[in-house]
Structure 1
């Protein structure tokens, strides 16, 4: 067999692989919901109901702080509200008998309104003593220990939602001639036999000037078993792939 014939056969065998590779790109699985929750109060950590890797539901307590001081403050302000209300009602009654003027009634009403505002603040602080989950998910890491004293805005726990996932895919800018939102694709996750079906949800309107690539976001179904951080190969069926 001549060298020219062998060369032609080699090129023919390589062409299908090259054509398929033109419509494959690397992807990373990410979660739409991910956050690091901080403490809004300076207090002592009383209890950590969940640990790293554990699951939780929306509304479950994630961090519980010692709230004795803030509850006592709320009770104190509540008593002040009751006293201010009595004073206001008494001022109104005295005004009906022309025993005091309108200014005295207005001052009593203002004192009562101020006490109510302080009570709302005190109750809000007691609610902040328990940090609850904003959505279903899992704990990525806990950055504090029980019985430690924390400061305001200190990072306490990192969580991630495992229900709403998406894939970020970097593709050549030349693919924009046939890519569009709503287009279906398959994600072959590294180390997994089964491919996940995804759909292009957004095309970032900016091309990297150096690599001439563009970023895509693809939505996944909620019943997927994928985990944020997984890498995958995205396979597109372009209109001109035939």
Structure 2
């Protein structure tokens, strides 16, 4: 009787081992799948710029500091415009005089006192004065740097009363409410990646999860790393900041479309 019992025990052990092996294979497959559809991402701002002064002048107004918010069209930096305003006034007076000279030339031409050449020269002088006036007014407009969009100040690179040179960097700004994610993924995922594919971003700095969707896929593959970059639209960008890093998890339903 002991021999049949021993065979039965061996059979049960073999069946248990087979079941455990199947579960282990399934676990390894799930773990591999989880790693396969995970990638690294970074939060980027759609609008970010370093503003430069277009004139050489002294800084007189600097109402914003790092971290301050602003609205489109709001003053970010003001320069001493006394010299440029005086030049604009001078050119405006010269333009006015050129206009009077042109009107007078036209009247004299009607009276046959001067020829058409004199009228043409007066017209040319007036056009030149108008062009110089536009340049002078453009310079006065450049004395103020205004916000090109809504956002926040990242860094202030100058101080009040400093004299800046032409094209010197003065402010760095960012549109902190217009964000997206840039994700780097293996090129082998091209078989199932497509626009509007959902994904979840887990932010490293806060641990928060944010839903997103693929907006665009890069048309070129990096030949060295065999990766490509895609852009993802964030459904709830509030609480995020440009420069944050994240892990991107693609949904199994989306990855299942590989076949």
Q: TM-score range, shorter-chain basis?
A: over 0.9
- Counterparts of 2:257 and 2:112 in 1: how far apart (Å)? 92
In 2, the alpha carbon distance for the partners of 1:165 and 1:26 equals 16
Distance 1:198 1:12 in 2: 29
Does the CA contact (< 8 Å) of 2:179 and 2:242 recur in 1? yes
Conserved in 2, the CA contact under 8 Å of 1:199 and 1:218?
A: yes
Residue of 161, 183, 186 corresponding to 2:200: 186
Q: Does 1:59 align with 2:76?
A: no
Equivalent residue number for residue 240 of structure 1: 256
Question: Could you tell me which of 49, 62, 66 is aligned with 2:63?
Answer: 49
Contact preservation (8 Å) 1:141, 1:159: yes
CA displacement 1:64-106 (0-9 Å, x = unmatched): 1000100111111111111111111111111111001101111
Question: For the Cα contact (< 8 Å) 2:205–2:244, is it kept in 1?
Answer: no
Is the Cα contact below 8 Å between 1:95 and 1:101 reproduced in 2? yes
Query: Which residue pairs with 1:89 in the alignment?
Result: 103
Match of 2:119 among 105, 112, 132: 105
Cα distance in 1 for partners of 2:99, 2:187 equals: 69
Number of matched residues? 242
The match for 2:155 is 141
Q: Which residue, out of 166, 186, 197, partners 1:152? A: 166
Query: 1:182 & 1:43 partners in 2: Cα distance?
Result: 49
Structure 2 equivalent of residue 132 of structure 1: 146
Alpha-carbon shift at residue 219 of structure 1 (Å):
1.7
Q: Is structure 2 residue 54 aligned with structure 1 residue 40? A: yes
Which structure has more helix as a fraction of its residues?
Answer: 2
Is the Cα–Cα contact under 8 Å of residues 170 and 216 in structure 1 kept in the other structure?
yes
The correspondence of residues 15-30 of structure 1 with structure 2, limited to 5 A, is 15-30=29-44
Distance 1:65-1:159 versus aligned 2 partners, 3 A rule: same
The DSSP-based 3-state class of the residue aligned with 2:120 is helix
For residues 257 and 233 of structure 2, the distance between their equivalents in structure 1, rounded to whole angstroms, comes to: 23
Cα distance in structure 1, aligned partners of 2:244 and 2:144: 32
> What's the offset of the Cα at 1:192?
3.2
Q: CA RMSD in A?
A: 2.2
Deviation at 1:193, TM superposition (A): 4.6
Aligned twin of 1:225: 239
Asked whether 1:68 is paired with 2:87, we answer: no
SS of 1:85's equivalent in the other structure is helix
What residue in structure 2 maps to residue 78 of structure 1?
92
- Say if 1:61 and 1:132, in contact at 8 Å, map to a contact too: yes
Instruction: Please say which of residues 15-24 and 227-236 is displaced more in the overlay.
Output: 15-24
Where 1:159 maps in the other structure, the secondary structure is strand
Shift of 1:208: 1.9
Residue 203 of structure 1 is matched in structure 2 by 217
TM-score, L = length of structure 2: 0.87
Larger mean CA deviation between 230-239 and 165-174 belongs to 230-239
Structure 2, unmatched stretches of 5+, are 1-12
Of the structure 1 ranges 15-24 and 25-34, higher mean CA displacement relative to structure 2 is found in 15-24
**Which structure is larger by alpha-carbon Rg, 1 or 2?**
2
What's 1:172 paired with? 186
